[in-house]
Amino acid sequence: MNLLELDRVHVVHRISSASLFGHDNVYALTDANLVLNPGETVGVVGESGCGKSTLAKVIVGLQRPTAGTVRYRGTSLWDQSSPSGVQGACPRPGSGARPQKIQNTAARARDFGRDVGMIFQDPATALNRRLAVAKIIRDPLDVHRVGTQAERADRVRELMGLVGLPDSVADAVPGQLSGGQRQRVAIARALALRPSLLVADEPTSALDVSVRAQILNLLIELREQLGLAMVFVSHDIQTVRKMSDRIVTMYLGRVAEEAPATELPGSARHPYTRALFSATPSLLHTVKPIVLTGPVPSATAPPSGCNFHTRCPKATDDCALELPPLSAASAGHTYRCIHPELNEASIS
């Protein structure tokens, strides 16, 4: 059984427009499909504003989908009825997706919330600066009333050792720690309830270069030691390739390509995936960057057809007519492009 499945998930936000009484829809996530198996790591990559963080929030239940289906261990987290409190947020006509309504908030928090942990981008803002480290790590155990007070204290010490934090920082507050130590605290907190799924949203982007590798290696060790499934979100495609079994490339709220990490970058089919890899420096190969011209279109008015065609170096008039069909390059490797890259690239 799949651990997690997203089926045609949409997230649309309604915001005030420049006009006095008007409103605009922001298409943050459009027709997203994702399957995650137990123990597997899926990397999500793309530029800022492409929908990566929205996808991560949908996975952990922090963002209510406007439409589509989210299943965890085969159980749907949402009813197929209109969501209360959401007005005007709907998928585009003809999408085939239906609105959703949360089934039971308490049950979802109890059953699903305990089984999913999240590491946020900036540990300086993700941690309560007034609480001691031990209290921050113990907080999920207190909320879910796991074990006795003594058992919770033992679990906190176990978690600190697991992530490489010395006992001496137990009574320290986040402001007294380094950036790397704060992120270790955030990781320990995310693991407190022994989740099966860990979602890491840009977990190293706020850290110094010198400690990024330490945190990435820690996540790899924890994944293997604890048998965790992981969704790893980043704008750095080379880091994503190192961390992941499969890679999902996103552009302007849509999944452009999904492929096994071992097939990238050489077998990448979508020009956007190739462009992301070409922008990454390589010590082994001289790579000519693929230059994307023009600004990223607005998420309130996505381009027709392929939403990448306004910046794609291979675009033709046909690209603007309709959304390219989902094509398969190999088992587990899909993309949306009518002018795919077909030759092996020298990027690595």
Tell me: the pLDDT tens digits for 79-94? 543 333 333 344 543 4
pLDDT score for 283: 63
Helix (H) or strand (E) holding 45: strand 41-45
Give the whole-angstrom CA distance, residue 346 versus residue 294: 26
Sign of CA dihedral 221, 227, 232, 237: positive
Q: What pLDDT, on a 0 to 100 scale, did the predictor assign at position 15? A: 82
Distance CA 63, CA 74 (A): 19
Query: Taking each helix axis from N to C terminus, what angle separates 133-143 and 149-162, rounded to the nearest 10 degrees?
Result: 120
| pLDDT the model gives residue 86 | 38
Task: Work out the burial of residue 159: count CB atoms within 10 Å of its CB; fewer than 13 is exposed, 13-18 middle, 19 or more buried.
Answer: buried
How much is the pLDDT for 281? 67
24-53 residue pLDDT tens: 889 999 999 999 999 999 999 999 889 999
Q: Where are the alpha helices (DSSP H) in the chain?
A: 52-60, 105-107, 123-126, 133-143, 149-162, 179-191, 209-226, 237-243, 271-278
pLDDT of amino acid 78? 74
pLDDT score recorded for residue 135 = 97
Written as one letter, the residue type at 166 is P
**Token duo for residue 132:** 């001691």
Could you tell me which CATH number the domain at 4-244 has? 3.40.50.300
Per-residue pLDDT, 49: 87
* 187 burial level (CB within 10 Å; 0-12, 13-18, 19+): buried
> Per the structure block, which two tokens stand in for 244?
């992941």
Low-confidence ranges of the chain (pLDDT < 50): 80-90, 92-102, 345-348
User: Which candidate, 149, 146, 126, 144, places its Cα nearest to that of 136?
Assistant: 126
The predicted pLDDT at position 227 comes to: 94
CA–CA gap between residue 52 and residue 250 (Å, rounded): 7
Q: Where are the domains of the chain?
A: 4-244, 247-348
